Structure 1
Amino acid sequence: MLRVVFLSVSVLGMTTNVWAQPIDTYWARLSKQDHYNSSGVALNSAATIIRQDRANFYIFGKMDPEDESDVFFNDKANRAKLEKMLSEGSLSDRDRAIIENGTPLIRVDIHPEHVEVTVAQD
Structure 2
Amino acid sequence: MRRMTNLIAAAALALAIPAAMPAAAQQLIGAYTAFIGTDDLYNSSGARLTQPWQVLRQDRANYHRFGIRHAGDEWDPFFGSIENRAAMERMIMNGSMDPIARQNLLQGGATVFVRIYGAGGVGRYVDVTVAR
TM-score range, shorter chain: 0.7 to 0.9
2-side partners of 1:103 and 1:83: how far apart?
21
The CA deviation string for residues 10-50 of structure 1, in whole angstroms up to 9 with x for no partner, is xx9xx899745411110000101000001111101111000
Deviation beyond 2 Å, 4+ runs, structure 1: 15-21
Amino acid at match of 1:29: F
Distance 1:66-1:17 versus aligned 2 partners, 3 A rule: same
CA RMSD of aligned residues (A): 1.8
1-side partners of 2:23 and 2:49: how far apart?
36
The alignment status of 1:27 with 2:33, answered yes or no, reads: yes
Higher strand share: 2
State the identity %: 36
The alignment status of 1:63 with 2:69, answered yes or no, reads: yes
The alignment status of 1:118 with 2:124, answered yes or no, reads: no
Over alpha carbons, which structure has the higher Rg? 2
Matched residue, 1:85: 91
What TM-score, normalized by structure 2, do the two folds share?
0.76
Aligned length: 108
The alignment status of 1:47 with 2:58, answered yes or no, reads: no
The alignment status of 1:75 with 2:81, answered yes or no, reads: yes
Matched residue, 1:7: none
Distance 1:104-1:20 versus aligned 2 partners, 3 A rule: same
Matched residue, 1:94: 100
